[in-house]
């Protein structure tokens, strides 16, 4: 009996992305029974998951699509590592796919769905109930994401580093206390340029924020950059693109299963970018890891190639 697959694609996908989906579906249909659902919003996504719950779900999209599906199933207490997702990466980000070594081309990704094995993965859940599947970051990274949102249709993946450059040179930094597993690792007196929380390794379409993170080890990699001064920030930005920023003396890496950010009373508020979605301004955010609660089909080496 052939595999039964449900391929979910966003209704707003462009013609190039739809062509990629068509190539993937063509490969899948050689050996599988495939239903394609085009969803316009979370309600439609939830309906497709419910109606076709016996099929293996294949998400054609990026980190945002995976985040949405995991969030819906988490809220419904239906995440199950024995029922893996397949991924057909679309768009400009696909950072968790990069971490997992899933091919970014549609044919290779489709073959991974057919021939891969399920890798059980962690999520983190914050104090608002939002899940984190790949990464969260605050400070210049979140501000860069906010700026890049308006530029992405024109600049594509280049929008994020440009946003980071602009934000890095216009901000004085953010004051926040940072705790990892109940231990304070950073005091709010020293402003933070960027705070990264990595379940996966990269953000923004391949920027290796937490280059040593593993999404199945029960831990988050917490990267604290208290970089001061225009020259140091410029050099930090260059190092970040190559994943060597963690070697700097003004960058510190911690690992733990819980993370807490708190702005002191009267300090500036901050935004948090979670899997590409940017929050309103907040003064507090915390996360707790939920180990091995879902799985994704992968193949070969899971080491990413930047």
Q: Which residues are catalytic?
A: 277
Helix (H) or strand (E) holding 208: none
Contacts of 4 (CB under 8 A, 6+ apart): 32, 33, 35, 54, 55, 56
Distance of CA 116 to CAs 57, 75, 108, Å? 14, 27, 11
Quick one: tokens of 214?
């593993």
Phi-psi region of 73 (alpha: psi -120 to 50; beta: other; left: phi over 0): alpha
Per the CB < 8 A criterion, the answer to whether 131 and 124 are in contact is yes
Contacts of 34 (CB under 8 A, 6+ apart): 5, 6, 7, 25, 28
Taking each helix axis from N to C end, the angle separating 159-170 and 230-242, rounded to the nearest 10 degrees, works out to 160
Burial of 166 (0-12, 13-18, 19+ CB in 10 A): middle
Tell me, letter by letter, the H, E, C secondary structure of 144-160. HHHHHHHHHHHHHHHHH
């Amino acid at each position: 009996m052939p595999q039964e697959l449900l391929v979910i694609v966003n209704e707003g996908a462009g013609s190039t992305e739809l062509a990629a989906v068509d190539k993937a579906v063509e490969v899948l249909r050689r050996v599988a029974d495939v239903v394609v659902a085009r969803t316009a919003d979370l309600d439609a996504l939830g309906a497709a998951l419910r109606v076709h719950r016996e099929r293996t779900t294949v998400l054609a999209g990026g980190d945002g699509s995976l985040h949405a599906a995991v969030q819906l199933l988490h809220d419904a207490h239906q995440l199950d590592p024995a029922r893996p997702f397949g991924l057909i990466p679309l768009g400009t980000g696909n950072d968790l796919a990069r971490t997992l070594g899933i091919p970014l081309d549609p044919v290779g990704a489709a073959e991974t769905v057919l021939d891969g094995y399920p890798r059980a993965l962690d999520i983190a859940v914050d104090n608002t109930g939002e899940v984190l599947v790949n990464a969260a970051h605050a400070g210049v990274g979140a501000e860069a994401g906010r700026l890049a949102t308006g530029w992405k249709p024109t600049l594509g993946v280049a929008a994020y580093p440009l946003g980071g450059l602009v934000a890095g040179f216009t901000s004085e930094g953010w004051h926040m206390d940072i705790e990892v597993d109940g231990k304070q690792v950073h005091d709010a007196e020293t402003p933070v340029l960027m705070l990264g929380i990595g379940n996966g390794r990269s953000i923004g379409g391949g920027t290796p924020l937490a280059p040593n993170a593993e999404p199945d080890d029960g831990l988050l990699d917490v990267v604290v950059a208290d970089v001061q001064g225009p020259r140091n920030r410029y050099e930090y930005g260059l190092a970040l693109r190559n994943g060597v920023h963690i070697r700097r003396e003004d960058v510190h890496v911690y690992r733990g299963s819980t993370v807490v950010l708190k702005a002191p009373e009267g300090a500036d508020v901050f935004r948090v970018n979670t899997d590409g979605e940017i929050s309103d301004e907040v003064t507090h955010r915390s996360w707790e890891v939920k180990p091995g609660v879902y799985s994704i089909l992968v193949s070969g080496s899971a080491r990413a190639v930047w």
